[in-house]
């Protein structure tokens, strides 16, 4: 009994360490503006006039402070882009420019040019004037190392996007009041926002808009959901299938998702009765689960070792398999195929850890 408990505690300690260590490897998909929308918390739009717009996307609202000197950021960007000015001067082509400053201060740039299959012209002048129907897009991604564990890979990203009728118009906005605009937003982000159709506008500066007040992208990451599971496990040397019905609460944050679940779980055992006939015995448990799952974006099939505690107490006893005051305790779980299957070790016991017997259960989430 004691050796089993010690083994379970060691396993939980190992799983906790595996989950707690951030992976500092920067994903290759992030090379050019590959920001993960899953981690974005705030988004702001600024109307620059003449159809030009600025979009600021942040993983943390406090990162607004990093853009209060946006003029300096744009000056550095324009200076770095000077060798490519000739390639960006075609009046009929539009361009997509990705500019990344990684956590180590290294800069990467990529630009793509697109030319329309057909030409368009404006005919209200003495000479036809060529029309370009798409805007130039500039995406500037800034990466920062984080040590607080908010991101599982140790990197936080913010993105500044500019949508301009012509790339060279960017010089009009350097020292053109953007610093003051961002500083005003930083001070008034929690002020009053007015709903305008499907967006919200800052009451005192309608040129600033957002999906929700204070720039939040989603109202809440918390959810209430139903639970239906089919379970296969063992009790001593018996095959013990069961199913679970209940409700769960999910609290999703940037680095992890916490789940609290309450379930009714009838467990079925098979034996021979006094008449020698096969009989099914149903013993019912009420189970409380507390799970913590690390959020790992861009993974479709993976195996995760995550900490959890499951505690169940018997509310209905059938047959002589279980003693009165029997309980189930599960520690740690393994997620397979994006939570479709969960593997959970545990043990059954009665009273105060008397006659503890190890068990392992496979849960299929429907």
pLDDT top residue among 130 and 326: 326
Kindly report, residue by residue over 239-250, the tens digit of the pLDDT: 999 999 999 998
Supply the pLDDT for residue 148: 55
Supply the pLDDT for residue 252: 73
Q: How confident is the model at residue 18 (pLDDT cuts 50, 70, 90)?
A: very low
Q: How confident is the model at residue 334 (pLDDT cuts 50, 70, 90)?
A: confident
Q: Where would I find the H helices in 21-121? A: 70-81
Say whether pLDDT at 130 is over 90.
no
CA angle 338, 340, 346 (to 5 degrees): 105
Percent of the chain, pLDDT > 70?
79
Say whether pLDDT at 279 is over 80.
yes
What H or E segment, with its residue span, contains residue 17? helix 2-20
Return mean pLDDT, the chain. 82
What SS3 class is residue 351?
Answer: coil
Distance CA 159, CA 156 (A): 10
CATH of domain 220-365: 2.40.160
Q: Is the dihedral of CA 34, 40, 45, 48 positive or negative?
A: negative
Kindly report, residue by residue over 181-221, the tens digit of the pLDDT: 999 999 999 889 998 888 899 999 999 999 988 898 865 56
Residues 6+ apart with CB under 8 A from 81: 88, 97, 99, 109
Q: How confident is the model at residue 80 (pLDDT cuts 50, 70, 90)?
A: very high
Say whether pLDDT at 1 is over 80.
no
Q: Where are the domains of the chain?
A: 28-215, 220-365
What SS3 class is residue 22?
Answer: coil
This prediction has a pTM of: 0.54
Percent of the chain, pLDDT > 90?
48
Say whether pLDDT at 22 is over 50.
no
């Amino acid at each position: 009994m004691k050796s089993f408990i010690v083994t379970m505690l060691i396993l939980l300690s190992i799983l906790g360490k595996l989950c707690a260590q951030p992976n500092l490897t920067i994903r290759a998909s992030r090379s050019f503006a590959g920001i993960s929308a899953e981690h974005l918390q705030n988004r702001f739009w600024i109307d620059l006039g003449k159809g030009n717009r600025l979009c600021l996307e942040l993983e943390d609202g406090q990162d607004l402070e990093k853009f209060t000197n946006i003029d300096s950021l744009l000056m550095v960007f324009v200076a770095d882009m000077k060798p490519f000015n000739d390639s960006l001067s075609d009046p009929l082509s539009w361009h997509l420019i990705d500019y990344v400053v990684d956590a180590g201060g290294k800069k990467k740039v990529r630009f793509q040019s697109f030319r329309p299959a057909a030409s368009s012209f404006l005919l209200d002048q003495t000479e036809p004037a060529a029309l370009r129907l798409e805007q130039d897009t500039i995406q500037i991604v800034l990466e920062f190392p984080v040590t607080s564990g908010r991101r599982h890979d140790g990197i936080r990203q913010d993105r500044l996007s500019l949508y301009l009728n012509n790339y060279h118009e960017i010089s009009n906005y350097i020292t053109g009041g953007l610093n003051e605009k961002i500083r005003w937003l930083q001070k008034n982000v929690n002020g009053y926002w007015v709903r305008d159709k499907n967006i919200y506008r800052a009451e005192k500066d309608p040129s600033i808009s957002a999906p929700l007040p204070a720039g939040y992208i989603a109202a809440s990451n918390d959810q209430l959901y139903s639970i239906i599971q089919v379970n296969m496990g063992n009790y001593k040397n018996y095959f013990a299938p069961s199913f679970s019905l209940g409700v769960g609460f999910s609290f999703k944050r940037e680095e992890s998702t916490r789940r609290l679940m309450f379930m009714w779980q009838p467990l079925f055992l098979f034996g021979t009765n006094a008449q020698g006939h096969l009989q099914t015995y149903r013993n019912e448990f009420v189970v409380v689960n507390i799970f913590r799952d690390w959020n790992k974006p861009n993974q479709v099939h993976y195996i995760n070792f995550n900490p959890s505690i499951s505690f169940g107490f018997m509310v209905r006893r059938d047959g002589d398999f279980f003693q009165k005051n029997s309980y189930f305790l599960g520690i740690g779980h393994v997620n397979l195929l994006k939570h479709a299957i969960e593997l959970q070790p545990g043990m059954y016991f009665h009273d105060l850890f008397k006659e503890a017997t190890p068990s392992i259960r496979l849960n299929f989430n429907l």
